[in-house]
Amino acid sequence: MIKVDQEKCTTCGICVDICPVSAIEISEGVISIDRGSCTLCGVCVSVCPVNAISIKRKAKTEDTSGYKNVWVFTEVASGTLKPVVFELLGKGRELADKLDQKLCAVIIGSGADKFIDELGAYGAELIYMVDDPIYENYSTDAYTSAISQLITEFKPNIFLYGATHVGRDLAPSVASNLGLGLTADCTDLSIEEEDNLLLQTRPAFGGNVMADIICPNTRPQMATVRPNVMEPLAPDENREYEVIERKISIPSRSVRTKILETISGREEHEVGVEEGDCVISGGRGMGSADKFEVLDELAGLLSGVVGCSRPIVELGWIPKSRQVGQSGKTVSPRLYIACGISGAIQHQVGIRNSDIIIAINKDPKAPIFDIADFGVVGDLHQIIPRLIDRLKKR
Amino acid sequence: MNFIVCVKQVPDTTEVEVDRESGTIIREGVPSILNPFDEFALNEAIRVKEKTGGRITVLSMGPPQAQEALRKCLAIGADEAILLTDQAFAGSDTWATSFTLARAVEKLGKYDLIFCGQQATDGDTAQVGPELARQLNIPQMTYVESIEEIDDGSVICKKETDGGYQRVKSGLPALLAFISTPAFEPKIPSIMEVMGAKSKTLSQWGIDDLGDEDGDYGLDGSPTQVIRVYSPPQRGEGVIIEEPPEVAVDKLIEYLESEGII
């Protein structure tokens, strides 16, 4: 049900211009909506400057049969595509093949066209592009409107977002706007054999249990996906793709938040802990902040990056951007070395996808040894300097 | 100013353990706590109220025993609490939860800011805040660490991003979802405050108070369905050594070589 509060409405006409199906008109000073052509995409609701339009939705898609294809939201940060985009395309490719549907990327931005070759190389067959200066910086309002409009027009079956700060801000906003189910922070996705539904797997209770979730009655089936879990395809520039561009202009006054300042939390070219192929983390057993220098040295020898557990951030020794675990970053390096980390379940959740886990801890009962492939019970202050010496001699 | 703080009572996940034999969760004896993210959000609301004046209403949906968490909020400094509790709300996913909270917020009437925790530590979805904001059609800011400025018409927040921080301004009313800062130490209410909380209003609202909209609440109103819950797959058994440092390092080097790392 869509309703206009005529008392609030100033007949400014923004909704008339933006409605993708021209269902709104002003006649005799009153807004009227043609319910036959209205698709309930919600764009008018989000652009109305006086909140005069409202939609009451049921979380149910009336006819799910017309919904096809697997969509991936393309997140851009600091002028490059986020690595999770390639991971989503890798998983999306598998799902699309299984369903015999197309894999599509959705890119919204200002100057978005410079990324389309890359999206094609990583497996997108169809790229939906919305390019306008209003999308230069991410805003919940503008991006929710644009995506809602694309979904309403093109009816995707599945829509995946990275479980990043942006993805976890945007996906629930879209889900709520369109009355859709959404599963957060998935670590696995597959297609159920019997009914072709998306089976979404995610951890809960701090990683103590796993849950399988389906979304039978709403389309698209939406999920945010944890970064660093899915495998990207090897890029191939010979893959063919097609671009569909849509012009969706959102008036700037409909974007209700304004970024005043952006403060970078990391040095330029610094490799984030979630991007490292080898991650060496220190915990409370390190003893003091200056002891992390040996981890830096070890990281230098193994081409790794240094991370830490939560208590270290609380002590203020290392910035939060380097925290590994449930309330920090999830990592999936080739090699993870946990030094003086007891390995609470919240830490384990963040490292479980590492190929190899090495733990060094003086407490033989530390839970980190439960998930370590190779554990050394001993004093890390004795072991790591010796390890560094040996590696230097090689 | 009128502030609404949405909170949830959760099991203390640091106390949750998995039975290694059966692979099931041991729930017995696991204490319930106020979701730590919500506690941070409430403290931020109290801090702001000290400057602006106003009233803080805490809102929660949950079983009757969630009253306990609300009593704590009242002791910490909230003025009034409302528990949305009804058999009809059981089994709500994030969509149905935000739908129910939105009906309650509408019933409460005029408000300036809604405070939420970024996520609850049991489900970790981080979805209810943004879904509630969109249901109410108000602007949202997520991953907020602090409110820097607030006046009658706007708020400026410091929020975390994947790569650092942003300072963001929004008009009011708005919804803010808070992360916790490492330096945050939860306030422990005094005996006087605990006693004082008993004279504050704690109401219970059920489906009849919110308006019966058939099939929109609880399990029926939830588009997502949990079909299976199980314990996470264990990694294979590892090798654990306990040797003098020299020997341990020899073996470690050997292991790194055998895995092709060096």
- For A389, the 3-state DSSP assignment is helix
Picking from B95, B142, B234, the nearest residue to A181 by CB comes out as B95
- Cβ distance of B168 and A169 shorter than 8 Å: no
Write the pLDDT tens digit of every residue in B41-50: 999 999 999 9
Q: Select the residue from B10, B20, B134, B144 to test the A interface by mutation, using most A Cβ atoms within 10 A.
A: B134
pLDDT value of position B23: 53
Q: How far is CA A51 from CA A9, A213, B105, in A?
A: 8, 34, 16
Write the pLDDT tens digit of every residue in B147-192: 999 999 999 999 999 888 999 999 999 999 999 877 788 888 999 9
Q: Enumerate the CATH 3.30.70.20 domain ranges in chain A, comma separated.
A: 2-55
Inform me whether the C-beta atom of residue A372 falls under 8 Å from chain B C-beta atoms: yes
CB B122 within 8 A of CB B13: yes
Picking from A164, A208, A377, the nearest residue to B16 by CB comes out as A208
Q: Enumerate the CATH 3.40.50.620 domain ranges in chain A, comma separated.
A: 64-251
Q: Does domain A275-392 have CATH number 3.60.150.10?
A: no
- Cβ distance of A387 and B167 shorter than 8 Å: no
DSSP B59-109: EEES-GGGHHHHHHHHHHT-SEEEEE--GGGTT--HHHHHHHHHHHHHHH-
Q: For residue A343, give the chain B residue with the closest CA.
A: B14
CATH number of A2-55: 3.30.70.20
∠ CA(A131), CA(A137), CA(A139), 5° rounding?
A: 95
Distance (Å) from the alpha carbon of B28 to chain A's nearest alpha carbon = 14
Distance (Å) from the alpha carbon of B9 to chain A's nearest alpha carbon = 13
Cα–Cα distance measured from residue B22 to residue A80, given in angstroms and rounded to the nearest whole number: 46
Q: Enumerate the CATH 3.40.50.1220 domain ranges in chain A, comma separated.
A: 275-392
Q: For residue B182, give the chain A residue with the closest CA.
A: A314
Cα–Cα distance measured from residue A391 to residue A302, given in angstroms and rounded to the nearest whole number: 9
- Cβ distance of B248 and A320 shorter than 8 Å: no
Q: Select the residue from B33, B137, B155 to test the A interface by mutation, using most A Cβ atoms within 10 A.
A: B137
User: In this predicted model, which residue has the larger pLDDT, B89 or A265?
Assistant: B89
Q: Which fold has domain B2-221?
A: Rossmann fold (3.40.50)
In total, the C-beta contacts within 8 angstroms joining chain A to chain B are 269
Q: For residue A199, give the chain B residue with the closest CA.
A: B227
Residues of chain A positioned with their CB less than 8 A from the CB of B235:
352, 357, 371, 373
- Cβ distance of A387 and B252 shorter than 8 Å: yes
Q: Select the residue from B140, B224, B230, B241 to test the A interface by mutation, using most A Cβ atoms within 10 A.
A: B224
- Tokens 């034999």 label which residue? B21
Picking from A54, A164, A184, the nearest residue to B124 by CB comes out as A184
Architecture per CATH, domain A64-251, reads as 3-Layer(aba) Sandwich (3.40)
pLDDT value of position A382: 96
Q: Select the residue from A57, A137, A169 to test the B interface by mutation, using most B Cβ atoms within 10 A.
A: A169
- For A135, the 3-state DSSP assignment is helix
Inform me whether the C-beta atom of residue A117 falls under 8 Å from chain B C-beta atoms: no
Per-residue pLDDT tens digits of chain A, which is 394 residues long:
788 999 999 999 889 988 888 899 988 889 999 888 887 888 888 888 888 998 877 788 888 889 999 999 999 988 899 999 999 999 999 999 999 999 999 999 999 999 999 999 999 999 999 999 999 999 999 999 999 999 999 999 999 999 999 999 999 999 999 999 999 999 999 999 999 999 999 988 777 788 999 999 999 999 999 988 899 999 999 999 999 999 998 888 889 999 999 988 766 567 789 888 899 999 999 999 999 999 999 999 999 999 999 999 989 999 888 999 987 888 889 999 999 999 998 899 889 889 999 999 999 999 999 999 999 999 999 999 999 999 999 8
Cα–Cα distance measured from residue B154 to residue B171, given in angstroms and rounded to the nearest whole number: 4
CB B205 within 8 A of CB B104: yes
pLDDT value of position A29: 86
Distance (Å) from the alpha carbon of B129 to chain A's nearest alpha carbon = 8
Distance (Å) from the alpha carbon of B200 to chain A's nearest alpha carbon = 32
Q: For residue A269, give the chain B residue with the closest CA.
A: B163
Domain boundaries, chain B: 2-221
Write the pLDDT tens digit of every residue in B205-238: 999 999 877 678 999 899 999 988 887 777 778 9
pLDDT band at B19 (very low <50, low <70, confident <90, very high): low
- Cβ distance of B167 and A165 shorter than 8 Å: no
- Across B123-133, average pLDDT: 95
Residues 6+ apart with CB under 8 A from A80: none
pLDDT value of position B210: 93
Half-sphere exposure of A227 (CA within 13 A, CB side): 26
- For A43, the 3-state DSSP assignment is helix
